[in-house]
Amino acid sequence: MAKLSTAGGPPASHAIEHLADVVNADQPLVHRGRFIDLQWLWQIGEVPYFISIRRGMILELVRGPVLMRSHEFAIRGAQENWERFWAPMPRPGFHDLFAMTKSGRASIDGNLQPLMANLRYFKEVLAAPRKLAEDGHHG
Amino acid sequence: MVELEPIVGRYMTLQIGGRSCRIYFEEAGSGIPLLCLHTAGADGRQFRRLMLDPAITDRYRVIAFDLPWHGKSLPWEGYEVEDYALTTDFYTAAIMGVANALELDRPVVMGCSMGGRIVLHLAHAHADDLRAVIGLEAADHQQPWYDTEWLNRPDVHGGEVCAAMISGLVAPQSPDRYRWETLWGYLSSGPGVFRGDLHFYRADSDFRDRVHLIDTTRCPVFLLTGEYDFSCTPKDTLRTAKDIPGVEAEIMEELGHFPMSENPEKFREYILPVLDRVARLK
């Protein structure tokens, strides 16, 4: 069982460390993302992570900052907010990307078309660390 | 022989807002008419579990119709050159048209989301025609949380994006079976229909200036909102309730924006006491 943060979900460092494993092992998720080939940025607190997706799999995840690195779109939020978001049973307001953007706990910028065209895929990638808390994955 | 469900569906053609509209409706049960209004971009299937609950159908004739463009109610003739946009006038005419066509005697009208918004209007404009209204996920106004242009454009699949936008409005506790049944309504919706409904919701139904005119001694108002609803938030509902003397409002735990379809068992805990109260009204 993964250690949980006081916010309820796995600590951000643990979530990011195992993100690629969890996503790439999820066959229906990878299949859903089979047309995706891009790099996006997930900012967790002060740390930007550049995540390369190729055919629905996470090919590379680079901890930033990295000078001059481009990305299609970015999703940003405070570390504690993501750790609340990853709780197995998140509290109201922390349970969905748009619940968090509406309240200002997260934000989205950049070219949103690939995000919106694959919205279920990316929402499931964002929520993937919940599995670390649920089933002790890589715990 | 297989056991048939008690729900029966039929069609009728009504003139609504100068249009000839072939309306599909389903019903089950007998007693006090309970007319149910689906959410934006969805259809009357959201109320099926209520229609299968004898605790409700023993006392209520539960009726749910699909607005034109939704479910089995086709768009009207000429839709192919129109941009669909629902208005308060058309919505009101559709609801009262169905109630009159079926000769419902002072029905209870229960609507969810945009259906919850319009019942606030009905409680004022048609107070004497209704026994009561029940607003699920209802408020006189709420803050938009995305650009509806994303819901209907050629480079984004409309059904997929509608479902993915609203998926987080289902509470995390809701069983997957019901979650995905609820989302199917959005996945399978017609192009631009959800966006067109949101025209009513966002541009033509700011009722903040008139909910205080509702007289709950003429038309009682009950409001139920799920704690996980971040579209119509509990705060929105409670703020609305403050302006309606005599209203009864309750926040539902472990429920989101689609209580009747996302978790019918949990919703029973909240709706049955309300229906008990309504059944005792004169």
What is the full DSSP assignment across B50-74? HHT-HHHHTTEEEEEEPPTTSTTSP
A97 to chain B: closest CA residue? B168
CA B211 to chain centre: 18
Q: How confident is the model at residue A135 (pLDDT cuts 50, 70, 90)?
A: low
Instruction: Please write the tens of the pLDDT for every residue from B206-263.
Output: 999 999 999 999 999 999 999 999 999 999 999 999 999 999 999 999 999 999 999 9
In a domain, residue B3? The reply is no
Beta bridge partners of B226: B252
Domain tally for chain B? 1
Question: In the predicted model, is pLDDT for residue A39 greater than 70?
Answer: yes
3 state SS for chain A: CCCCCCCCCCCHHHHHHHHHHHHHCCHHHHHHCCCCEEEEEEEECCEEEEEEEECCEEEEEEECCCCCCCCCEEEEECHHHHHHHCCCCCCCCCCCHHHHHHCCCEEEEECCHHHHHCHHHHHHHHHCCHHHHHHCCCC
Q: How far is B212 from chain A (nearest CA, A)?
A: 27
**Cross-chain residue pair B168–A103, CB shorter than 8 Å:** no
Q: What angle do CA A50, A130, A16 make, to 5 degrees?
A: 25
Closest Cα partner for B23 from B52, B82, B63?
Answer: B63
Q: Looking at beta carbons, which residues of chain B come within 8 Å of A120?
A: 160, 163-164, 167
A71 close to A40: Cβ distance less than 8 angstroms: yes
Task: Pick the closest to residue A94 from B163, B253, B168, B231 (CA basis).
Answer: B168
Q: Is the pLDDT of residue A139 over 50?
A: no
Rounded Cα gap, residues B127 and A130, in angstroms: 48
Please, what is the end-to-end C-alpha distance for chain B in angstroms? 42
Return the pLDDT at A2. Answer: 62
Contact state of B230 with A116 under an 8 Å Cβ cutoff: no
Q: Residue B164 and residue A93: Cβ atoms within 8 Å?
A: no
How far apart are the C-alpha atoms of B244 and B219, rounded to whole Å? 11
Q: In angstroms, rounded to a whole number, what is the distance separating the alpha carbons of residues A71 and A52?
A: 9
Which of B146, B163, B172 is facing A98, going by the closest CB pair? B146
pLDDT at A134 over 80: no
Q: What would the DSSP string read from start to end of B120-162?
A: HHHHHHTGGG-SEEEEES--S-----S-GGGGSBTTB-HHHHH
The residues, any chain, with a CB within 8 Å of residue A103's CB and separated by 6 or more, are: A93, B230
* Residue B1 domain flag: no
Which candidate in B142, B153, B228, B232 is best for mutational testing of the A interface (most A CBs within 10 A)? Answer: B228
pLDDT for residue A26: 98
CA dist., res. B163 & res. A20, Å (int): 25
Q: How close A74 comes to chain B (CA, Å)? A: 16
Task: Tell if the CB–CB gap between A117 and B228 is shorter than 8 Å.
Answer: no
Nearest to B37 by CA among B106, B120, B105: B120
Find chain B residues with C-beta within 8 A of A90's C-beta. Answer: 172
* pTM of the predicted structure, to 2 decimals: 0.96
Please report residues of A whose CB lies closer than 8 A to that of B150.
112, 116
Q: Please list, in sequence order, all residues whose beta carbon lies within 8 angstroms of the beta carbon of residue B209, skipping any fewer than 6 positions away.
A: none
As a whole number of angstroms, the distance between CA B111 and CA B104 comes to 16
Q: Spell out the per-residue pLDDT of chain B, length 282, in tens.
A: 899 999 999 999 999 999 999 999 999 999 999 999 999 999 999 999 999 999 999 999 999 999 999 999 999 999 999 999 999 999 999 999 999 999 999 999 999 999 999 999 999 999 999 999 999 999 999 999 999 999 999 999 999 999 999 999 999 999 999 999 999 999 999 999 999 999 999 999 899 999 999 999 999 999 999 999 999 999 999 999 999 999 999 999 999 999 999 999 999 999 999 999 999 997
CATH of the domain at B261: 3.40.50.1820
Whether this model's ipTM surpasses 0.85 comes out as: yes
Domain range holding B127?
8-279
Which of B217, B149, B205 is closest to B37 using CA atoms? B205
* Contact yes or no for A116 and B163 at CB 8 A: no
Entry field: residues in chain B: 282
Exposure string over B211-224, b if 16+ CB within 10 A, otherwise e: beebebeebbbbbb
Q: How far is CA B193 from the centre of its chain?
A: 15
Please work out, in degrees rounded to the nearest 5, the angle formed at the alpha carbon of residue B225 by the alpha carbons of B219 and B226: 160
Tell me what pLDDT residue A1 has. 53
What sign for the dihedral angle of Cα B73, B134, B279, B47? positive
Does the distance separating the beta carbons of B172 and A95 come in below 8 Å?
yes
Q: Write out the residues of chain A at the interface with chain B, using a CB-CB cutoff of 8 A.
A: 89-90, 92-93, 95-99, 101-103, 112-113, 116-117, 119-120, 123
Domains assigned to chain A: 12-134 (3.30.1050.10)
